[in-house]
Amino acid sequence: MAERMLKFVGTPQAMPDKRPAAERRRDFDEIYEGFARDKAAEQAARCSQCGVPFCQIHCPLHNNIPDWLKLTAEGRLEEAYELSSATNNFPEICGRICPQDRLCEGNCVIEKGFESVTIGSVEKYITDTAWQRGWVKPIQPRRERPESVGIVGAGPAGLAAAEQLRRKGYQVAVYDRYDRVGGLLIYGIPNFKLEKEIVQRREKLLRDSKVSFHLNCDVGRDVSLEELRARHAAVLIATGVYKARDIAAPGVGLAGIAPALDYLTASNRHGLGDSVPEFESGMLNAAGKDVVVIGGGDTAMDCVRTAVRQGAKSVKCLYRRDRANMPGSQREVKHAEEEGVEFVWLAAPQAFLGQETVSHVRTVRIHLGMPDASGRQTPQEIPNSHVNIEADLVLKALGFDPEDLPAAMSAPDLGVTGWNTLKIDWKSMMTSLDGVFAAGDIVRGASLVVWAVRDGRDAAERVHTYLAGKALAAARIAAE
Ligand code: FAD
Ligand code: SF4
Ligand code: SF4
């Protein structure tokens, strides 16, 4: 092993080639090229095969990273794919959009002075290769089970659960209020981070595996939760969080100020070929505009980079803390800066100016004060530090909260936490309603795709335990 691995001393870290910023600004294609076979093997061989792999511990899916790196270094790609797909339903998606700097790669223990193994890019390479070579096949369960499971939400949590349950032979029906499968993978995250075909080929695989999809079906409006409970042996709620946080500042109701997700959804729909009146009218289109995005998370980063690609005149990101204290990935900030986005750190909106349409954002400078209970420094306004920034499109990217699900689903007995996320018993993953489980952002609050996959997989296991227990009890009664 030592011969082939442990190459981090002599082989420098290399990511796949990144397209030049000037070219990236003109299209919505992904920004990284794929690894070539020898490059992937060379990078995988940098791993020192730790006895206690911190990369694996800090991956929410506990992917068997050192083993699939070794298999890749040895050119045994089909085995690498089998290992990688055993713990992750969407390795090629996580390889593209996980914030690896905070998860696996950020915890790679390669000695200081040498940089971490490029785990995400190798993971993406393995599964992209598997797709190209036809190794990714529809599920054929060893035995069919009669029980059906209804899943509400076709985002990563719902889809991971659907795949796992189908593997066990359950009849799986997924309901979603959108017209497409994928949740935020399709309508939130832009194409330049995750090309839509990557999500759509996963949808096709699930359909070919006989998972059925009921789209344009809003549970609560088109069908009730009670009806689903009667229709299925178990129900899983994986509806995500969509209520955008707002800003309480004068002028926030002016035209030209929009929630970030409306803007990103319009752009994604346009990219998918839909007719989008708000995009075509220019309302949710940055072309030729001075754009100000408020927020410092992943959604804000996606907005600024989308605006650049739509041909905005200028794009600024306003964030009330500094670069070191922003929630978004540092890698994304770097990409945005390369693409021409200007970051206005330590600044907060105080008012929006304009007649009917916004023309300026009145900002105030911020000083970071003493840490609060969460340990984060408290932003404090600096008196008389106002600056007006020109803007004819302002996007609010301040995060998301859950909707009032018990009301929306006419299920007053569905228990929620103080944050309005669904309350579950963490051992069984069941909500307060018998046979109704929950997973993903609707339980955690706005989180990450990799956590949604983890939750979906865990929930599938718990649903199986619940249904297997019921089947056993029924068999006992029948035998008596
Ligand atoms: P979702 O993906 O939100 O899916 C929920 C689904 O439920 C949706 O399809 C919705 O239509 C459906 N639904 C909701 N209510 C109903 C109802 N009543 N009836 C029927 N269907 C319903 N994470 C990363 O790891 N990396 C990133 O780079 C990243 N970028 C992001 C960028 C943006 C703009 C946003 C908003 C989020 C980003 N995230 C990222 C977070 C990630 O997308 C989410 O954590 C993840 O998608 C949550 O998965 P989920 O399945 O719980 O919910
Ligand atoms: Fe890293 Fe995400 Fe892959 Fe885990 S799933 S190994 S955190 S890129
Ligand atoms: Fe390899 Fe780094 Fe993981 Fe160690 S921590 S097993 S060197 S990838």
pLDDT digits (tens, 9 = 90+) for 160-216: 999 999 999 999 999 999 999 999 999 999 999 999 999 999 999 999 999 999 999
**Residue, of 425 and 15, whose pLDDT is higher:** 425
Residues 203 and 266 reside in one and the same domain: no
List the single range of 29-43, 125-139, 370-384 with lowest mean pLDDT: 29-43
Question: 253 and 387: one domain?
Answer: yes
Tell me, yes or no, whether 138 lies in a domain: no
Domain for residue 450, yes or no? yes
| Same-domain status, 259 and 226 | no
Contact of 468 with 477, CB cutoff 8 Å: no
Residues 18 and 119 in one domain: yes
In which band, very low, low, confident or very high, does the pLDDT at 235 lie, cut at 50, 70 and 90?
A: very high
In this prediction, residue 447 carries a pLDDT of 96
Tell which wins on pLDDT, 109 or 393: 393
- What tokens were used for 445? 């609050």
CATH number, residue 82:
1.10.1060.10
Domain final residue, candidates 398, 415, 447:
398
For tokens 């009667």, the residue is 230
Residues in the chain: 480
Is the pLDDT assigned to residue 111 strictly greater than 70? no
Last-in-domain residue among 398, 431, 466: 398
Cβ–Cβ under 8 Å, residues 217 and 177: yes
pLDDT: is 479 or 449 the higher one?
A: 449
Q: Report the share of the chain in percent with pLDDT over 70.
A: 97
Q: Is the pLDDT of residue 309 over 80?
A: yes
CB atoms within 10 A of CB 167: 17
Element (H, E) at 344: strand 342-344
Residues 128, 24 within the same domain: yes
Secondary-structure percent of the chain, ordered helix, strand, coil, rounded to 5: 35, 20, 45
Q: Please indicate whether residue 155, judged by its CB atom, sits closer than 6 Å to ligand 1.
A: yes
Same domain, 417 and 392: no
Residue 358 scores a pLDDT above 90: yes
Question: Pick from 156, 155, 93, 158: which is nearest to 126 by CA?
Answer: 93
In the predicted model, what is the mean pLDDT of the chain?
93
Q: What CATH number has the domain bearing residue 288?
A: 3.50.50.60
Please tell me whether residues 432 and 343 are part of one structural domain.
Answer: no
pLDDT in tens, 310-321: 999 999 999 999
Beta pairing partners, 140: none
Query: Which residues, at least 6 apart from 33, have a Cβ–Cβ distance to it below 8 Å?
Result: 16, 17, 18, 19
Average pLDDT over residues 112-137: 91
Report which ligand 3 atom has the smallest distance to the Cα of 47: 1
Q: Using the predicted structure, report yes or no on whether residue 261 has a pLDDT greater than 90.
A: yes
Mean pLDDT of 270-288: 96
CA 189 / ligand 1 centre spacing (Å): 9
Looking at 132, 167, 191, the residue that finishes a domain is 132
Residue 205 inside a domain? The answer is yes
| Parent domain of 440 | 148-241+402-479
pLDDT value, residue 300 = 97
Domain count, the chain: 3
The answer to whether residue 413 is domain-embedded is yes
Exposed / middle / buried, residue 92 (Cβ in 10 Å: 0-12, 13-18, 19+): buried
Establish if 143 belongs to a structural domain.
no
Closest CA to 183 of 160, 158, 207: 158
Q: How far is the CA of 72 from the centre of ligand 3 (A)?
A: 14
Ligand 1: centre distance to CA 301 (Å) = 16
Long-range contacts of residues 264-270, Cβ cutoff 8 Å, at least 24 apart: 264/187, 264/188, 264/190, 264/299, 264/302, 264/303, 264/306, 265/187, 265/188, 267/190, 267/306, 267/310, 268/186, 268/187, 268/188, 268/190, 268/191, 268/196, 269/187
Q: What is the pLDDT of residue 8?
A: 66
Domain co-membership, 216 together with 92: no
CB atoms inside a 10 Å sphere around CB 333? 20
- Cβ of 452 closer than 6 Å to ligand 1, yes or no, is yes
> Helix or strand or coil: residue 301?
helix
* Residue with the larger pLDDT of the pair 62 and 476: 62
Give the pLDDT confidence of 20-50 residue by residue, as tens digits: 899 999 999 998 877 777 778 888 889 989 9
Query: Residue 104 C-alpha to ligand 3 middle, in angstroms?
Result: 9
The Cα 460–Cα 163 span in angstroms is 9
In a domain, 421, yes or no: yes
Q: Specify whether 90 is located in the same domain as 160.
A: no
Global pTM value: 0.95
Pocket lining: 298 vs ligand 1, CB cutoff 6 Å: yes
Which residue's CA lies nearest to atom 5 of ligand 2? 94
Q: CB under 8 Å to 261, separation ≥6 — which residues?
A: 188, 242, 244, 299, 400
Ligand 2 binding pocket includes 93 (Cβ within 6 Å): no
Residues 235 and 369 occupy one common structural domain: no
140 within a domain of the structure (yes/no): no
Same domain? For 391 and 417 the reply is no
Ligand nearest to the CA of 6: 3
141 belongs to a structural domain: no
The whole-number pLDDT of residue 38 equals 76
pLDDT at 331 over 90: no
What spacing in Å lies between the alpha carbon of 240 and ligand 2's midpoint? 21
- H-helix segments, 35-176: 37-44, 54-57, 65-73, 77-87, 91-97, 119-133, 156-167
Q: Are residues 251 and 237 in the same domain?
A: no
Q: How far is the CA of 477 from the centre of ligand 3 (A)?
A: 52
